[in-house]
């Protein structure tokens, strides 16, 4: 579709009143502090692009990519503009016109092929012992990371030897009577960096009576591609995932990664696949998608078993942008935390402000990302919690780095990590009666 | 002087981090919230981001010596093109200079630099049980410097008035680069009638006399209790009557706001949880003070409103009050939601009219909307006669643009004809200066003379205000 004809570009630019409300909620603007980083500035620049007043070149891309795509502006825009979608569409347009600017290797070849990605992660694991430089060059990371690689290296989390995929089967039977047949969307980052989360998610779901299907050929949800202007690749990934999940007769499709659930949500599917011949299939798919926290609280309405396993723990919650802003899911994780025996929940100020991680942003815009992270950590530390909980691997990596950076001895965990000990006890007898 | 040399000199003076010179970056400074700048953006030759009086002085002196226009800018939420360098020149973006210099709680005063955001100031003051009462709908984004320059007010002007009532003194960099201190800037008093009142002259001067670099503000004790009565009307004409009767009953609410049927729809679409009732209009009466007084006022208002309103909701729950107040604050922009392929525009949006004529004017505005075939959303500070009109058009359709410009002109003339004013709080800037003679007659000559005395070279925010 022509850039000008894309729904947000065609219908929403003219809705901007330039009231500036979005300036007051943008974490990047709060750091850069001039109009070039204001969300309304991005809307304005996309309009300039649309009208041919500026060229789709590197200079414009540089301004637009200062945005984290955290969506805080969009949810707060009284006019109803999806500012981040305009921005993403413009990035894609610029990269389309300037293939040399695009981050080809990593996003096109690596992230679309899970096998290759997994192999390189293993390679990465080895490389971490020796230094990242040569590896990064080999897999093309140098193309997206300007300059300072040692810094990037510090950011990367330890890569486990086993992937999540290697620990779970394609079909996982429900414990006791089957209530639902659930597709588990195993995201790339969970698979590679947090395999124990994947394992725990499947255990929890099966415990509560779900048969869990993990299709073999799941590909990336497309979120990194959208952020990096690779809209066509994001589209083909989405279409692929729609097809492979629709091949099963599923009641729900669940994921423990907030970025994945946002990418698979109805709104995003419409953004990517609306108007194409796969639109109806995408709708069937996305109507079944739920973030794990919502599924556990609202559909399964779980009671956490084995309360005797409880250990007193003070926790605070970080809202991933892709959950709170993109999907408006704020209550479900808090409700879930309340149901975990032994948990004392302390709300941090501005829990839904971005951590500055945003996929590769923490690498490509390191200094800015650190400033945003520091604010987040200050607010998290104020709570006196000993665990900082969230449900997005990208946030976890960034927050873990933040905790190290601030010498904070609290642990950064996925909400599933808090649940997991309760499910490691005896097999559930009652359910099979 | 050539533009490239101007840029070079500025970078030399302030360093490259505080100067924007790239043509692409400068484009972002070609707009504020006005509709005018959508039609006629104005790109500056350079933007500077000073954070000290000395830096401002350096830039202004340089501009003075080289006859370059200077345009101060806060957050760019003004609706008049006031902060736009339409003919080039240097824009001073003061929004990054946001220091709260001193909170003198004992003397109930605070000193701030111009870039402090209104809402942040009140958060800081709340710790001392104080507040700066003017409450613009743009509180989360506008700067105190911009408020002083525009003499902004807002939702609580009924009881607390406008910014001017709270300015004890100012530090101003004049067009020749000298620093003038006015009123009680260097004193700590609340009352002060010494000398000609240059503070009042500067407040509302919209950046045409000098650059405000420091502000001493008076604060008030934060009221202990609040309550909001929402009266729901099936007939919009009944609303103004209630307002008058409430005053006649000896009640002075802190704010009285109106939303018409379309404004209600817009708010509900943006924030369904606010759940405003479907009606031709609602009135929001906010009362504050001590708990018994608030209860008493609430009861009297409910009684009076009940005579004409379909229903009255009395809220003291902080969550509900916050929702209702937020609902009103966001109307300004949310108005765009009433038309899928349209946007509200900020033009003709701020007339002020006598309380006794509100119903007539609202009717007349509706008729004008019908005449031009343009959807008009009405909301605003009805308690002080300040009606915000939001025409909703497709701003990219030239025919609609032409019609709306006529509509807006008629609205401004209507205000003058009704013994009102073209602007109650947003100011004149570039968009309303054409009405200066009509509104002020001979006084405009004296305004020009004052401007000349301060700014003989005419470099300070030229072609604004009159
Ligand atoms: C959604 C919305 C709601 C609004 N609601 C209200 C309301 O309820 N009440 C109200 O009064 N206004 C309201 N406004 C208008 C606007 O927010 C105010 O006029 C505000 O005071 C402007 O502040 P700013 O920092 O954005 O100033 P800008 O728009 O940047 O500048 C405004 C004017 O002040 C001058 N200026 C700015 N800073 C200085 C300085 N330091 N020294 C000298 N001159 C300076 C500029 O040159 C310009 O002429 C609203 C605007 C929006 C978009
Ligand atoms: S909040 Fe929305 S309408 Fe207002 S300036 Fe930002 S994008 Fe434009
Ligand atoms: S998406 Fe986030 S970072 Fe980007 S402009 Fe909006 S608020 Fe700012």
- Residue B92's alpha-carbon distances to B59, B76, B429, in angstroms, are 9, 11, 16
Element (H, E) at B403: helix B398-417
pLDDT of residue B65: 98
If DSSP codes are grouped into helix, strand and coil, which group holds residue B25?
A: helix
Q: Indicate yes or no: CB of B336 within 8 angstroms of CB of A80.
A: yes
| ipTM of predicted assembly, 2 dp | 0.96
Spell out which residues of chain A touch residue B20, defining contact as CB-CB under 8 Å: 34, 36
Tens digit of pLDDT for each residue in A229-252? Answer: 788 889 999 999 999 999 999 999
Surface-to-core class of residue A310, CB atoms within 10 Å of its CB (0-12 exposed, 13-18 middle, 19+ buried): middle
Angle at the Cα of A199 (from A246 to A328), degrees rounded to 5? 60
**Percent composition of chain B: helix, strand, coil (DSSP 3-state, to 5):** 40, 20, 40
B423, B465 in Cβ contact below 8 A? Answer: no
Alpha carbon of B140 to ligand 2 centroid (Å): 13
State percent of chain A over pLDDT 70. 85
Domains of chain A: 3-97 (1.10.1060.10), 165-299 (3.40.50.1860), 307-424 (3.40.50)
Angle at the Cα of B123 (from B121 to B125), degrees rounded to 5? 70
Q: Which two tokens stand for residue B445?
A: 């000559």
- Whether the pTM exceeds 0.90: the reply is yes
Q: Indicate yes or no: CB of A21 within 8 angstroms of CB of B337.
A: no
Given a cut of 50, whether residue A432 has pLDDT beyond it is: no
If DSSP codes are grouped into helix, strand and coil, which group holds residue B179?
A: strand
Under 8 Å CB-to-CB from A55, ≥6 apart: which residues?
A: none
Digits of tens for pLDDT over chain B (466 positions)?
Answer: 999 999 999 999 999 999 999 999 999 999 999 999 999 999 999 999 999 999 999 999 999 999 999 999 999 999 999 999 999 999 999 999 999 999 999 999 999 999 999 999 999 999 999 999 999 999 999 999 999 999 999 999 999 999 999 999 999 999 999 999 999 999 999 999 999 999 999 999 999 999 999 999 999 999 999 999 999 999 999 999 999 999 999 999 999 999 999 999 999 999 999 999 999 999 999 999 999 999 999 999 999 999 999 999 999 999 999 999 999 989 999 999 999 999 999 999 999 999 999 999 999 999 999 999 999 999 999 999 999 999 999 999 999 999 999 999 999 999 999 999 999 999 999 999 999 999 999 999 999 999 999 999 999 999 999 9
Domains of chain B: 100-221 (3.30.465.10), 223-428 (3.40.462.10)
Q: Indicate yes or no: CB of B141 within 8 angstroms of CB of A63.
A: no
Element (H, E) at B180: strand B179-183
- Residue B465's alpha-carbon distances to B208, B239, B460, in angstroms, are 8, 33, 12
| Mean pLDDT of all residues in A364-378 | 94
Evaluate the CA torsion angle A289, A290, A296, A299 in order and state its sign.
negative
Q: Does A76 touch chain B (CB under 8 A)?
A: no
Q: Which two tokens stand for residue A29?
A: 């603007």
Q: Does A48 touch chain B (CB under 8 A)?
A: yes
Spell out which residues of chain A touch residue B28, defining contact as CB-CB under 8 Å: 34-36, 38, 41, 44-45
Which of A196-235 are b and which e, b meaning 16 or more Cβ less than 10 Å from the residue's Cβ? bbbbbbbbbbbbbbbbbbbbeebbbbbbbbbbbbbbebbb
Residue among A22, A67, A80, A325 to mutate when testing ligand 2 (max atoms within 8 A of CB)? A22
CA dihedral A170, A171, A175, A180 (to 10 degrees): 110
Alpha carbon of A37 to ligand 3 centroid (Å): 9
If DSSP codes are grouped into helix, strand and coil, which group holds residue B238?
A: helix
Tens digit of pLDDT for each residue in B366-399? Answer: 999 999 999 999 999 999 999 999 999 999 999 9
Closest by CA position to B85, among listed B466, B459, B446: B459
Do strands B225-233 and B311-315 pair parallel, antiparallel, or not at all (unpaired)?
A: antiparallel
């Amino acid at each position: 579709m022509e850039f000008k004809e894309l729904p947000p570009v065609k219908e929403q630019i003219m809705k901007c009143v330039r009231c500036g409300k979005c300036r007051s909620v943008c974490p990047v603007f709060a750091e850069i502090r001039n109009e070039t980083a204001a969300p309304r500035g991005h809307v304005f620049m996309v309009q300039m692009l649309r009208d041919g007043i500026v060229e789709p070149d590197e200079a414009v891309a540089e301004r637009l990519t200062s945005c984290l795509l955290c969506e805080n502006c969009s949810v707060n825009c009284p006019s109803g503009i999806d500012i981040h979608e305009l921005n993403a569409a413009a990035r894609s347009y610029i990269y389309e016109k300037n293939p040399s600017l695009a981050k080809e290797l990593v996003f096109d070849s690596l992230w679309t092929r899970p096998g290759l990605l997994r192999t390189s992660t293993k390679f990465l694991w080895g490389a971490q012992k020796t230094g990242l430089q040569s590896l990064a060059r080999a897999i093309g990371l140098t193309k997206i990371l300007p300059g300072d690689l040692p810094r990037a290296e510090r950011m990367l989390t330890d890569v486990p030897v086993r992937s999540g995929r290697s620990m779970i089967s394609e079909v996982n039977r429900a414990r006791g009577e089957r209530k639902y047949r659930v597709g588990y969307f195993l995201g790339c980052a969970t698979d590679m960096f947090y395999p124990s989360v994947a394992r725990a998610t499947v255990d929890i779901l099966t415990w509560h009576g779900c048969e869990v299907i993990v299709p073999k050929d799941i590909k990336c949800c497309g979120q990194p591609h959208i952020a990096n202007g690779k809209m066509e690749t994001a589209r083909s990934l989405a279409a692929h995932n729609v097809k492979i999940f629709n091949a099963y007769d599923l009641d729900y499709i669940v994921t423990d990664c907030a970025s994945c659930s946002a990418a698979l949500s109805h709104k995003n599917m419409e953004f990517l696949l609306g108007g194409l011949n796969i639109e109806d299939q995408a709708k069937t798919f996305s109507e079944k998608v739920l973030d794990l926290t919502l599924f556990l609280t609202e559909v399964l309405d779980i009671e956490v078993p084995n309360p005797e396993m409880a250990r007193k723990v003070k926790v605070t919650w970080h809202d991933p942008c892709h959950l709170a802003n993109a999907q408006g899911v704020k209550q479900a994780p808090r409700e879930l935390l309340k149901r975990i025996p032994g948990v004392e929940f302390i709300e941090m100020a501005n829990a839904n402000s971005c951590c500055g991680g945003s996929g590769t942003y923490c690498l490509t815009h390191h200094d800015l990302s650190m400033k945003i992270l520091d604010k987040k950590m200050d607010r998290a530390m104020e709570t006196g919690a000993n665990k900082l909980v969230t449900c997005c691997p990208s946030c976890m990596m960034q927050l873990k780095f933040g905790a190290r950076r601030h010498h904070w001895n609290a642990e950064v965990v996925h909400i599933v990590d808090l649940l997991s000990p309760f499910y490691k006890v005896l097999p559930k007898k009652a359910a099979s009666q | 002087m050539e533009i490239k040399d101007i840029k070079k000199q500025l970078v030399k003076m302030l360093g490259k981090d505080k100067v924007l010179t790239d043509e692409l970056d400068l484009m972002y400074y070609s707009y504020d919230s006005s509709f005018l700048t959508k039609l006629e953006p104005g790109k500056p030759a350079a933007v500077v981001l000073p954070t000290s009086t000395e830096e401002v002085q350096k830039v202004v002196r340089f501009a003075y010596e080289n006859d370059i226009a200077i345009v101060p800018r806060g957050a760019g939420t003004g609706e008049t093109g006031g902060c736009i360098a339409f003919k080039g020149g240097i824009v001073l973006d003061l929004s990054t200079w946001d220091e709260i210099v001193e909170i003198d709680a004992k003397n109930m005063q605070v000193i701030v630099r111009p870039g402090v955001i209104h809402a942040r100031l009140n958060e800081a003051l709340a710790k001392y049980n104080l507040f700066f009462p003017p409450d613009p709908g743009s509180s989360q984004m506008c700067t105190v410097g911009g408020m002083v320059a525009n003499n902004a007010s807002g939702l609580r002007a009924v009881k607390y008035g406008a910014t001017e009532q709270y300015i004890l003194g100012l530090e101003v960099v004049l067009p020749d680069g000298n620093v003038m201190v006015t009123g009680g800037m260097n004193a700590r008093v609340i009352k002060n009638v010494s000398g000609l009142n240059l503070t009042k002259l500067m407040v509302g001067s919209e950046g045409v006399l000098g650059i405000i670099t420091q502000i001493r503000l008076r604060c008030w004790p934060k009221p202990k209790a609040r309550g909001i009565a929402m009266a729901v009307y099936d007939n919009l004409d009944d609303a103004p009557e209630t307002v008058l009767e409430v005053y006649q009953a000896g009640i002075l609410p802190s704010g009285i706001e109106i939303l018409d049927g379309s404004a209600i729809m817009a708010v509900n679409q943006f924030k369904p949880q606010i759940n405003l009732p479907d009606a031709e209009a609602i009135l929001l009466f906010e009362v504050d003070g001590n708990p018994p007084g608030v209860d008493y006022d609430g009861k009297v208002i409910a009684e009076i409103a009940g005579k004409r309103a379909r229903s009255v909701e009395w809220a003291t729950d902080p969550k509900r009050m916050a929702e209702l107040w937020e609902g009103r604050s966001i109307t300004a922009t949310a108005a765009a939601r009433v038309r899928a392929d349209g946007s509200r525009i900020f033009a003709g949006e701020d007339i002020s009219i006598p309380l006794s004529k509100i119903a007539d004017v609202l009717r007349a505005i509706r008729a004008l909307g019908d005449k031009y075939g343009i959807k008009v959303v009405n909301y605003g500070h009805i308690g002080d006669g300040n009606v915000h009109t939001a025409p909703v058009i497709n701003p990219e359709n030239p025919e609609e643009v032409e019609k709306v410009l006529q509509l807006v002109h008629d609205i401004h003339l209507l205000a003058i004809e009704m013994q009102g004013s073209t602007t109650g709080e947003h100011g004149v800037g570039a968009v309303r200066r054409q009405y200066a003679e009509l509104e002020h007659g001979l006084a405009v000559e004296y305004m020009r003379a004052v401007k000349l005395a301060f700014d003989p070279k005419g470099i300070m925010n030229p072609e604004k205000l009159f």
